[in-house]
Amino acid sequence: MERIEIGFMGLAAVLGLIGLRVPIGVAMGGTAFVGIFLMMGLKPAIGIAKGIPYNLIGDWNLSAVPMFLLMGFIAVEAGLTRGLFGAARIFLARIPGGLASSTVLASALFASASGSSVATAAAFSRIAVPEMLRANYQPGLATSSVAAAGTLGSLIPPSVLMIVFGLLMDVSISQLFIAGIIPGILTAVMFILMITVRCWLNPELAPAAKIDISAEEKRALLIDAWPLPVLIAGVMGGIFAGMFTATEAGAVGAFLACVIALLRGRLTVKVLRKALVDTAAGTSSIFIIVVGAALFARFVALATIPNWVMGFFDGYGTLTVIIMICGLFLLLGAVLESISIMLLTLPVLAPLLGVHGVDMIWFGILTIKLLEIGLVTPPVGMNVFVIKSAMGSRVSLGTIFKGVTWFIVTDLVTLALLIAFPIITTWLPSLMAR
C-alpha cells in the first residue's frame, strides 16, 4: 500500500474516531502510531512515539499554558470578573439594544482573562440573559448575543488557541497576542454596531431600558469592575513594551491575579485550591492533545500528504488559496471543535502557506477568527449548546441558532475586512518589532 493511501486512511480514521467521541489526543496519537508502523515498521514507530512527547513537553513555551489557565481560574474563582456587566451597562444601556451591547463589551473583558469562549458563554448565560429577558428582549437576541460574544475568548489575548497555533506553526506567541487585539476589538465593535442598527430599526427586539443609576451606584460598579481591566492591561502592556515574553507573561498574570485577589480579600485557600486543581486538569487535557497532534503531524509528513496538497493547489493565486482554506475551515467548523480543526489541518497546510509566502501572524488571526465562527455554527455550535443548557426549556435551540445567524453574517464581514486589509492585524506586531 502506498504511503499517500495510508495517510488518507489515517485522516479518515481520525475523523471517524472523533465522531465516536474518542478523545482527540488519543485518536490522533493512536492513528499516527498505527500509520507509522504500517509505513516503516514497529521499531521506528516506537522510536517516534517515545521521542516526540519527550522533546515536545520539554518546550519552554508550553509553560505559558498552565500559567494563563491559572490566571484565568483565579480571576474567575476570586470574583475579579464581577461587576463587568453592570459597569458596561453604565456606558451602553441607553442606546438601542444596550443590554445586549453591554453583554458584548463585558464578555470581551471576561474572555481576555478566562481565555475560554465556552467559559465566557456559560458565565454570561447566567448573568446577562436573565437580565435581558426581564427587560422583555426578544429571546433570540438575548441568547445569541451571549453565544456570539463568548467567541471573543478565542481572539482576544491571552488565548490558549493562539498558544497552540504558535507552537504548531513555530510563530511568536507574543506577536500573535498583540496581533489579536485590534481584530478582537473590531469584532466587538461590529457586534455592537449590528445590534444597535437592528434594534433601532425594530424597537420590538429590545424595548428601551428604563435605568436610573445614581452617581454613587456608578462609582460602586466601576470600583467593582476595575481588577480585570488592570490585570489584562498589565499583562498585555508588559508584552507590548518588551518587558517580558508571552511565556513569562503567563506567570506575571497569575501573580498579578493573586495579588489583586489578595488585596480585595478574596484569595482564600478554597479559591486557590479550586484554581490549582482546574489548572492541572486543563493543562493535562491540553498537553495530551498537543502530544497527539505532534505525532499525527509527523505521520502526515511521512505519508507525503503535504506534497499532495501542494499539488492540488498548484496554479492558484495566494488570495484564492486563502479563500479556499477559509471555506474549508468554515465547513469543518460546522462539525468539529476548534482544537480538532487546527490540529488536523495546520500540519498539512503549513508547507503550502510557506510556498505562497503567507504572513503566519496574519494567517494565525484568520484561523482563530474562523474557529470563532465555528463555535456558533450549526449543527455543533458549542456555545449555542452551552446557552441552551443554561436556559433549559425557556428558549428553544432553533431560536438561539436563528438569532446567531445575524452574528455569523457580521463575523463574515469582519473576516472579509481582515483578509482585504492585513494591516488591521499586522500593524501592532510591526510596532512591537521595532
What is the tens place of the pLDDT at every residue in 44-98? 888 888 887 877 777 676 777 788 788 878 877 777 766 676 677 777 777 888 8
What is the tens place of the pLDDT at every residue in 234-248? 887 888 777 887 778
23, 288 contact by CB (below 8 A):
yes
Cα distance between the two ends of the chain: 52
Euclidean distance between CA atoms 198 and 309, whole angstroms: 43
DSSP 158: S
For residue 415, the model assigns a pLDDT of 95
365, 179 contact by CB (below 8 A):
yes
CA angle in degrees (0–180, nearest 5) for 216-219-222: 150
Q: How many C-beta atoms surround the C-beta of residue 84 within 10 A?
A: 28
For residue 407, the model assigns a pLDDT of 93
For residue 211, the model assigns a pLDDT of 63
Task: Reduce the DSSP state of residue 53 to 3 states and report it.
Answer: helix
74, 208 contact by CB (below 8 A):
no
H helices then E strands: how many in the chain?
23, 0
DSSP calls for 84-153: HHHHHHHHHTTSTTHHHHHHHHHHHHHHHHH--HHHHHHHHHHHHHHHHHHTT--HHHHHHHHHHHHTHH
For residue 161, the model assigns a pLDDT of 84
103, 85 contact by CB (below 8 A):
yes
pLDDT along the chain (434 residues), means of 10: 82 81 82 89 86 75 78 78 70 81 82 70 77 85 87 80 84 88 92 93 81 68 75 81 78 87 86 88 80 81 80 83 90 76 82 89 94 82 79 81 92 95 92 66
Any residues with CB less than 8 A from the CB of 85 and at least 6 apart, and which? 102, 103, 106, 124, 127, 128, 131
For residue 369, the model assigns a pLDDT of 93
386, 122 contact by CB (below 8 A):
yes
Cell of 106: 463585558
User: Residue 49 corresponds to which amino acid?
Assistant: A
For residue 418, the model assigns a pLDDT of 96
Any residues with CB less than 8 A from the CB of 145 and at least 6 apart, and which? 100, 103, 104, 128, 132, 191, 195, 403, 407
For residue 117, the model assigns a pLDDT of 72
| Strands annotated E in 64-194 | none
Cell numbers 466601576 correspond to: 222
Task: Reduce the DSSP state of residue 96 to 3 states and report it.
Answer: coil
Euclidean distance between CA atoms 65 and 328, whole angstroms: 28
**What value does the CA radius of gyration of the chain take, rounded to a whole number of Å?**
22
For residue 182, the model assigns a pLDDT of 92
